[in-house]
Structure 1
Amino acid sequence: MQLSNEEEDYNLSLSKFESMLKTNKVLFFDSEEFEEIILHYLDMGKSALAKKALKLALEQHPRSSGLKLVQVEMLIYDDKLEMAEKLLNELYAIEPTNEEIYIQKANICSKRDQHEKAVEMLKIALKYTDDYADVYNLMGMEYLFMDNLELAKDSFIKCLEEDFEDQSALYNVVYCFEFLDQNQEAIAYLNKYINKNPYSEIAWHQLGRLFYGVKEYESAIHAFEYATLIDEEFLGAFMEKAKALERLKKYEEAIESYNRTLELDDATSYALLRIGKCYERLGNKVLALKYYNKTVHEDPLLDKGWIAITDFYVRQKNFQKALFFVNKALAIDNQNKLYWKRFAAINKQMNFFEEAEFGYRKAVEFGDYQLDTWLFWVDILQFLGEFESAIQTLLQASEYFPEENEVEYRLAGLYFMLSDNIKAKFHLSNALRLNYDNYILLEDLFPVVWEKKMVRNYIDKHKKQ
């Protein structure tokens, strides 16, 4: 590939400067060359070299406003805002129509969290600049800092009107639309944008994402395909296309698209997992299992991989194998609530009730506060005859579910079992108030209690009220 004259000159300047540093000979550069060299080192994160270049530059060009503005930029970068401001005021006295002065003043205001003032500075910069796109982009970022998404969106749109190839502005426009929950408006905007710039793979990809978000999966696939036609190595577009194909139950095509991502880059556990899911839905259990195993091999810390294998064997009713894999998962991460819940459910299926009770207890201990987890745990405690523990667990659950009839019916049943009729009637009254028809739970879970005439009379009495 041939370099342009500008690129050749830039590379020569850089080589010349670095050669000078090695030989300690002082060579002459014009001020623009120095600016490019300094900004290059800043972009590379080599601030020491940038400062050395600036020192030499100002020695050779002490009156260059361009270099002084670069000096301001470096002072701001180093959080030396007072020094930067003082230098800007000196420059303003000489060049009051230099837009870069106002841009740097805006940067200082932004650093001080004075975002409204920063916008005012940028509005002045607009009067003097030829690079409207850059200023509108900066304004958009200030509005984002102020959480004014509407004005941010408008600024990024204006930026794109000036430079429709500004990819960061395009991403930011879509972000604003999505944050404002304006997905349909975003789709309309991107369609207009694509009419002007049909070869923007980023626009097609973002359009596909938006269609996916509103569940228009066919349109999403169409957009992702355009993105991959423009850029045949657009990994993200292949991944998103595969997800949309899955939604349409086109599992073979989804596998093909996921496989394309594996060709483009190192295997990702997500792609391997999704391929496994697709094969399972196609009824190919052998390949499904193969890819689930690849998933956990690729990323042993990905809980979804271990859960996929465990659930696979549960669906086959092969509980021994399911237990084997959930135990392997727990050996890697014994604080994962999802693993403990499955450990409990599998042991329950195998009639290992003490192990199941332990599993549900650990699941709650590590943050699983879902209602079904509490209820499964309590029902096993009841089965094991640990009524007091079951009550304490239900009282704990009631803090998360204060108006849940299933908790109240169980508390009533357990208190009746312990002959604490006052507390039993209190909770039974709550349960009947919350859901009268669910009194059948007492018959199912506490047949001994249900046989008591007093209990049935209390329920009938409540109905008459």
Structure 2
Amino acid sequence: MQFNSHDENNFPLERFESMLKTDDVFFFDSEEFEEIIHHYLEIGKVALARKAIKIGLEQHPSNSSLKLLEIELLIFENKLEAAESLLDELYVLESGNDEIYIQKANILSKRDEHKKAIELLRTALAYTDDPLDVYSLMGMEYLFLDDYQQAKECFIKCLEEDDEDYSALYNVIYCFDFLEDHDGAISFLNDFLDKDPYSEVAWHQLGKQFVSKKMFKEALAAFDFAVICDDAFIGAYLEKGKSLEKLGRYNEAIENYEITLKLDDPTSFAYLRLGKCHERLGNYSLAKNFYYKTVHEDPLLDKGWIAITDFYIQQENFQKALYYINKAINIDGENVLYWKRNAEINKVLNFYEEADIAYQKTVELGNYELDTWVSWAIVLRKIGEIESAVQTLLQALEFYPENSDIHYHLAGLYYTLSDTIKGHFHLKNALRENYQSHTLIKELFPKVYNRNSVKNIITSFQKPSI
């Protein structure tokens, strides 16, 4: 029995709490103590649970269930030696008690001895009347060992014991996903639905498997069944909306996202998807309003700030785009996506000093994409920092040693610095990798291109016409 504040049958709990406030001592049977202790553990009042265990054992010193609750609490508090000592004492008296093996397994799990924990749980299976919990614990131990195949089998056993154990169902699908066995997951879910065709969770998971295989029409049908089973299933409406987007059916996607707004409090995700759909339909005013709602609902959602920034970039309103990406940076100054956008916008606006700072921050935060290095070098050249541009591209070469664009840029920069030998070296490397892109030199460094020595090198790499 579980207690709550509105339960008319919570008299033992009231008596216990009354006893704690007075000097009176009331007697409770062991089952009442168990209910009281479980209640406190479930609501997170560990100190009161500990006190109830202490008093319970004073009144029932030989009760194994109360001793096991004491052991469970000790394990929770990482007092493993004390718990193990009590378990050894209890084992002598009740070697056939499955809970002893389960708690011993919990101790081993805490010590990262997961294989030994599994062996004890197998022993517990021989004694338990409730194999579901034991299989669930075994599944978790296998997950700790990254043995997703065995974990999956354990969670399937849980479902065989109770087909409404949705926690086990989610874990089974998690294992299939990790094994990248989407076909296996689909087959499993279809078998499951043959037995329980009204399981909205199973239909929802089946739809997600179809999405993983980019089978959006099949996914849509599965999400439709999930909604039929539970017309208030918000997750199914959201996934249905995403599938409709993939199929280009934006108006229908909008309808599904709007349903979620009516069923529960609005989510930033729904606002974001509504904004994306309206933008694709050309409803720019509505799209903009939904993006505003997205960042208002969840200022930490980077996809929201990026969506509204990209919206203004598409509109070529770069000042507005810069305003919003700067607001995002003020909220989360360590977000590399924000700094990359900031750099690109400042570059377009010819704010090269600001772009230089932003590109530097982008790289410091771990963005080593090719266009980041090249764009940063272009900005450095714009502000006259030729040697810094060279150093930046030399760093880029560590990540992209055979990229012709980097070599063309370096060639132009070295020629500009009158370092002809290094200019020749990088120009030849660039031409060797990609002759067709030699026009980059003409576009970016026209004075360099007009040098006879440069033209001669380019000509030497030209393939003779047949």
Looking at structure 2, the residues matched to 28 and 342 of structure 1 have their Cα atoms a distance apart, in angstroms, of 69
Give the CA deviation at 1:200.
2.5
Give the CA deviation at 1:179.
0.8
Give the match for residue 217 of structure 1. 216
Give the match for residue 120 of structure 2. 121
Looking at structure 2, the residues matched to 100 and 81 of structure 1 have their Cα atoms a distance apart, in angstroms, of 16
Give the CA deviation at 1:330.
4.7
Q: Deviations over 1:207-247 (max 9, x none)?
A: 22222122122222222233333333322222222211111
Correspondence list, 1:225-374, <5 A:
225-330=224-329, 332-333=331-332, 336-350=335-349, 356-357=355-356, 359-374=358-373
Q: After alignment, is 446-455 or 168-177 more displaced?
A: 446-455
1:459 aligns with 2:454: no
Quick check: 1:42–1:50 contact (8 Å CA) kept in 2?
A: yes
Give the CA deviation at 1:352.
5.3
Give the CA deviation at 1:111.
1.8
Q: After alignment, is 360-369 or 198-207 more displaced?
A: 360-369
Q: After alignment, is 443-452 or 125-134 more displaced?
A: 443-452
Looking at structure 2, the residues matched to 185 and 417 of structure 1 have their Cα atoms a distance apart, in angstroms, of 60
Q: Mark the CA change 1:419 to 1:299 in structure 2 (over 3 Å): closer, same or farther.
A: same
Q: Mark the CA change 1:410 to 1:152 in structure 2 (over 3 Å): closer, same or farther.
A: same
Looking at structure 2, the residues matched to 17 and 357 of structure 1 have their Cα atoms a distance apart, in angstroms, of 68
Looking at structure 1, the residues matched to 370 and 101 of structure 2 have their Cα atoms a distance apart, in angstroms, of 58
Looking at structure 1, the residues matched to 264 and 129 of structure 2 have their Cα atoms a distance apart, in angstroms, of 41
TM-score normalised by structure 1 residue count: 0.90
Looking at structure 1, the residues matched to 334 and 27 of structure 2 have their Cα atoms a distance apart, in angstroms, of 64
Q: Deviations over 1:32-90 (max 9, x none)?
A: 22222212212222122222222222222222222222222222223232332232222
Give the match for residue 155 of structure 1. 154
Quick check: 1:156–1:172 contact (8 Å CA) kept in 2?
A: yes
Q: Mark the CA change 1:318 to 1:109 in structure 2 (over 3 Å): closer, same or farther.
A: closer
Q: Deviations over 1:360-409 (max 9, x none)?
A: 45544554432112222333444555433332322232233222110011
Correspondence list, 1:18-97, <5 A:
18-97=17-96
Looking at structure 2, the residues matched to 326 and 109 of structure 1 have their Cα atoms a distance apart, in angstroms, of 49
Q: After alignment, is 270-279 or 29-38 more displaced?
A: 29-38
Quick check: 1:99–1:125 contact (8 Å CA) kept in 2?
A: yes
Looking at structure 2, the residues matched to 355 and 437 of structure 1 have their Cα atoms a distance apart, in angstroms, of 33
Quick check: 1:31–1:67 contact (8 Å CA) kept in 2?
A: yes
Looking at structure 1, the residues matched to 88 and 325 of structure 2 have their Cα atoms a distance apart, in angstroms, of 67
> Which structure 1 residue ranges, 5 or more long, are not aligned?
none
Quick check: 1:88–1:105 contact (8 Å CA) kept in 2?
A: yes
Quick check: 1:10–1:33 contact (8 Å CA) kept in 2?
A: no
Give the match for residue 182 of structure 1. 181
Give the CA deviation at 1:121.
0.9
Looking at structure 1, the residues matched to 190 and 260 of structure 2 have their Cα atoms a distance apart, in angstroms, of 26
TM-score normalised by structure 2 residue count: 0.90
Q: Name the aligned partner's letter for residue 212 of structure 1.
A: V
User: Number of residues paired by the alignment?
Assistant: 461
Q: Name the aligned partner's letter for residue 54 of structure 2.
A: K
Give the match for residue 392 of structure 1. 391
Q: Name the aligned partner's letter for residue 73 of structure 2.
A: M
Q: Name the aligned partner's letter for residue 67 of structure 2.
A: K
Quick check: 1:326–1:342 contact (8 Å CA) kept in 2?
A: yes
Aligned sequence identity (%): 60
Quick check: 1:344–1:357 contact (8 Å CA) kept in 2?
A: yes
Give the match for residue 99 of structure 2. 100
Q: Name the aligned partner's letter for residue 315 of structure 2.
A: Q
